[in-house]
Every structure is written in structure tokens, then in C-alpha cells.
Structure 1
Amino acid sequence: MTGTEFSVAVAGGALTVTRWGAADALPVLALHGITANGHSFARVAAELPDGLALLAPDLRGRARSAHLPGPYGLGAHVADLVAVLDAAGVDRTVVVGHSMGAFVACLAAVCHPDRVAGVVLVDGGFGLPAPPGTDIEAVIGPAMARLSMTFADRDDYRAFWQRHPAFAGRWNTWADDYVQRDLVGEPPEMRSSCVAEAVRADGAQVLEDPETLGAIRALPCPAWLMWTDRGLMDERPGLYTPERLAALDGSGVHLVALPEDNHYTPLFSSTAATVAAQVHAAVQQTVQA
């Protein structure tokens, strides 16, 4: 399914958004991870029922929104997503976020409860204690390292990602479309579009900002956290475990385990259908109730 791109006026320029779905379908909003882009949600969009559309911006500092200037940070993403909803004529909807995007979704729900009816969080949104001074580069590993690398051509970049432990043996056309959208420049010196300054600013908030970390416990709307058994490098355990998630007892956040996946794969594997079904259920429970 091919998406349609459009631009939304935001502070400093225009944010690029991809829409999948019929013109008369109800849009939900999708927010990608810290070095990702909107096309990470293409397979989820393809799995949604006909009555739903999906709006996925390339967040400020990434892919076709890489030109947008700072100041960066999760508050800037929240302001940008409100602009997307306004431009699309959406008063209130469900927001699905992956990884860092899940933290943005929680913050948006707290700051704009009239616009966010519910949130679906995919392996993110719930902060875990990090040792003082922890840098985002140490957390996301190769995903950050590639920002300072150059690649001979598109095949070289594809091979880099195919070697990543999270994608090894799991490569498909959905993953390929996603990573190719990130690549800019000309051979033999192509590079990732992600702005390192934006990634560091966003990462610092995910790791240590009290408002960001506390948002999941202050949500004014229904929330579902879909967590994976494996981490960013396909290791066990992943970011979340039943023991770690016990800290959310009493918060009202519904937990959904994804035992066959790592941090990346729910958006690209057959599990995308499970994510789409959860988004649909959230819409039925909140927007269409």
C-alpha cells in the first residue's frame, strides 16, 4: 500500500507526513523511534481495517523533516503533532508510538488531553532507571553510530542494517523501505538523514527528564503498553520484563506481551497485525465508543 505525502507548517518550516488509508477514513497518529522515520509504520498501516487511516510524520530532525531547526526535544514533537492533527482536521484520536515515539505519545496525552483519546505504546513510554551520566549513544548502539558513518551506496546501507542483530534473518521489503527513506546524499558518500543534535536532545529527555518519565503515570486516557521479550540487539531480556513492569501496577496501563519479538520487529514482522488490531481496539474503545 502506497502512502501519500503532505507537508504541515510548523515552527521553522514544514514537517513531512505520510498518510495511508482512504480519504474518508478516521486517522490515527503514529510516532516513530529516536533515529527512525514515519515509514517504520507502513506495515502497521497496511494491517489496519478500511475504516482507519494512519498519519505518520517524519519527526523533526529525521528523514524528510531533517531540515527543521531546533530547539529539539520532546516538547517540540508534541507541538508538531498537534499541528499535524490541526492540518488533517482531526479533533481527537488515538496515538500509537514506538520507542521514543511512545514517550512523545504519553507527553502529548498529558499536555493535550482534549486531542488524545488513547495511546498504544510499542516497547517504549515507560522509563527505566539509568545510571547518572548515561548517554543515548550507549543505549541505542549501532543505530546512533551510523549517524557519523558514510555508505558507498544504497546496497551498502542495506547490508549495514541486515547485519544488525535485530534484523538478521528477518529482513523484508517493509524494513528495506524504512531504512532507504533514511538515506541521503550521493554515492560514494551517502549517510543517514538523522540530525545527531536532535537525537541527543530527545535521548537526554527520555533518559532523565522528570516530566517525560512521569507522563505514563499521569495519563488522562486509556493506554496499552505492548512490550517485547528481546531488546535492541535481539538480546534477552529486553527493555521490559514482568518484574520491571510491576512498577506500573495500579497505573491503569494495560500490558500486552509480544514474546516473539525484539525492540524493532513488531513494526515489520507479522506482529504488525497485532499492533494494528490493538490500535483498532483502542479506537473502538475511545473515539468510537
Structure 2
Amino acid sequence: MRTWQDVTVEVAGGALAVRRWPGRPGAGTVVAAHGITGNGLSWAAVAEELGDVELIAPDLRGRGRSRDVAGPYGMARHAADLVAVLDRLGIGRAVLAGHSMGGYAACVAGRRDPDRYSELVLVDGGLGFPVPRDTDIDAVLHAVIGPAMARLDMEFADRAAYHRFWAGHPAFTRIGGPLLAEYLDRDLTGEEPHLRSACRAAAVREDAEDQLRNPAVFAAIHELTLPATLLWAERGLRDEPVGLYAPEVVAASGLADEGVALHFVPDENHYSLMLGASGPRVVAAHLAAAARRDPAGQG
């Protein structure tokens, strides 16, 4: 396994916890944002496949070991936090990656601070689905992410019980191993037998409101001035046959005409693309290629 460092970065409202997998000097850097109820270790399997490329993945505010970083939340705040991470670590420019909700944060970040990023790689996220104003956000979250949302109201007697909960998730049938266990453990807070998810429900709801109702967030992927790639999984968040982005949705998005490179990833679901055996190799290959294309990352 690659060596890594845990660092903290002061931001408005507290200190972000950041996992850093150092790389070879000149091989480039990737800074990566995770999904709505995840943490930075969702990128661990990708980091293992990246070889010499540095990868930096914060726990976004309200999640993981950044759970006590205060709001407000939202994509613009996450975008500002990503720049703060780069500044703290002395990185002038990086490849920017985002999975799921992290893809929306990455699009907003890339539009706001294009000089800090060479390319964007979006992993099953970033292309928006607006919902009506009178729709209950909790209902949407339970419908879309299901168990990931339900767990926020649950307690677990020990870590093994929490691991069993996720083992029963239909999208996790092909996912396992020590990297997954570390990712799940980072999401726990409290003491046995009263362990809970470290995700702040308020952060999840506020980010969902922004992601699902903010026209500026929907527009960000269409207003990028940087090269961008969208990887979209064949299967869904609960391993449904149709993924988060159905083929007709991607075709109708206009992204291809706007210069976004579109790459369909067969046989993977929303989670296995990041945490499985073969999915992380696909993601890492695109990130490594983006790092090689950045002259600043090679100097």
C-alpha cells in the first residue's frame, strides 16, 4: 500500500482533515472531492492505482474527521475549501476530481478558480438534476441514496455491525478489503455500543439543497473553461441496471458539443467505480493521463 499522511488545513469554521498520498516530484497532483455522505478515503483505492501521481483528498466539512467544521455548507464553500487545501500545501495547480456530489463541487471550483486547476475529471457526478421547489429534500435523498441516508439516524454496537450494514447494500456486493474497511471506519464517531455516522445531517441536507436547486450549480458544468472528462457508470447507486446517468440523459445533455469528454464505464456501479477492484483503475488511468498533460505538473 502507498504511504500516506494525514494533515489538517485551517478554513473558516474549523480545520479540515486531509489525507495526502505523496507522489514523485514532477509527476503531478490530483485534489479530489468525495460524495455527499462519504469521506476522503473514498479515494484510497484510486490512490493505490495512481502510481507516482500525488493525490490529496479532504474530508469535506461536516463529514468524516471534518465533521466539526461549521457551516454554511454548499458547493461554493467546498470550492473555497479546496483552494485553501492547495494553498496550505503549497500547490499552485492540480488536476481536480470529484465523485458524485464532489463532481458538482469540482465544477463550481473549476469555474470559480480556473487558474488553480489544469483539468477536471468527474466521476458519476456534476451533471445536475433540478427538482421542484416544493419537493421535500429528505424524500429525494432517501429515494436516491437510500441506505446511505438512512444510516444517519442509526446507531451501531460496534464497527463490525457497521461493516455488516454496508455489506448488505446491493451496490457493495463486489466491494471489500482493507481499504473499504478503513473508509467505513473513518465515517464512525462515538463509542461502542453507540457508534454513529460522522456525517452531519445538516451538511447533507444543505448540500443537497444547493446541488438540486441552485441554478448556478447546474450551470457550472456547462460553463467550464478547462478541459473536462465525465466518467459515467453503467449501473446505479443500488446496482440498478441503469445508472445515475442513463445513456439518453448523457446524450441530451449537450456536454459532448461543449467539449466535455464522455466515457461510459460498463459493468460498474456508482460505488464500485471508486471502491471496487477494476473501477478505481479506470478512474486512476484518466487522472494520470490528465496529470501528464499538465506542463506545470511536470516542472
Following superposition, the deviation at residue 279 of structure 1 comes to 0.4
| CA distance in structure 1 between the partners assigned to 2:224 and 2:9 by the alignment | 27
Are residues 1:140 and 2:145 paired? yes
SS of the equivalent of 2:170 reads coil
Q: Does 1:159 align with 2:172?
A: no
Pair 1:170–1:224, CA change in 2 (3 A): same
Look up the equivalent residue of 1:213 and give its one-letter code: F
Deviates more, 1:215-224 or 1:240-249: 240-249
Q: How many angstroms apart in 2 are the aligned matches of 1:60 and 1:131?
A: 26
Alignment of 1:94-113 (within 5 A): 94-113=95-114
**Structure 1 residue 49, shift from structure 2 partner:** 2.5
Correspondence 1:43-192 to 2 at 5 A: 43-50=45-52, 52-132=53-133, 133-135=135-137, 136-192=141-197
Structure 1 CA distance, aligned partners of 2:118 and 2:228?
A: 9
- Percent identity over the alignment is 50
2:206 is matched with 201
Deviation at 1:236?
A: 1.8
Q: How many Å apart are 1:173 and its aligned residue?
A: 2.1
Counterpart in the other structure of 1:278: 286
Q: Please state how far the C-alpha of 1:23 moved relative to its aligned partner.
A: 6.8
| Alignment partners' CA distance in 1, 2:250 and 2:14 | 39
User: Cα deviation per residue 1:250-275 (whole Å; 9 max; x = unaligned)?
Assistant: 11110111111110111122221111
* Residue 251 (structure 1) aligned with residue 253 (structure 2): no
Partners of 1:265 and 1:36 in 2: how far apart?
A: 14
State the SS of the aligned residue for 1:61.
coil
Q: Secondary structure at the match of 1:120?
A: strand
Which runs of 5 or more residues in structure 1 are unaligned? Answer: none
Q: Describe the SS at the equivalent of 1:186.
A: coil
Please provide the CA RMSD for this pair: 1.5
Q: 1:169 Cα shift?
A: 4.1
In structure 2, stretches of 5+ residues that fail to align are: none
SS in structure 2 at match of 1:7: strand
Shift of 1:108: 0.3
Determine the structure 2 residue equivalent to 1:28: 30
Post-superposition Cα deviations, 1:118-176, rounded to whole Å, max 9, x if no partner, equal: 10000000012435515233321110110010000000000000000110243222222
Q: Point out the more displaced range, 58-67 or 20-29.
A: 20-29
TM-score, normalising length: structure 2:
0.92
Q: Distance in 2 between matches of 1:20 and 1:205?
A: 30
Aligned residue type for 1:30? A
Displacement of 1:206 in angstroms is 1.2
Task: Give the distance between the partners of 1:279 and 1:254, measured in 2 at CA.
Answer: 13
* AA at the equivalent of 1:3: W
2:227 is matched with: 222
CA shift for structure 1 position 2: 3.8
Distance 2:267 2:86 in 1: 33
- Give the corresponding residue for 2:273: 266
Q: 1:119 to 1:252 in 2, by over 3 A?
A: same
1:40 aligned residue: 42
Give SS of 2:171's match.
coil
Q: Tell me which amino acid in the other structure corresponds to 2:201.
A: A
For residues 154 and 251 of structure 1, what CA distance do their matches in structure 2 show? 46
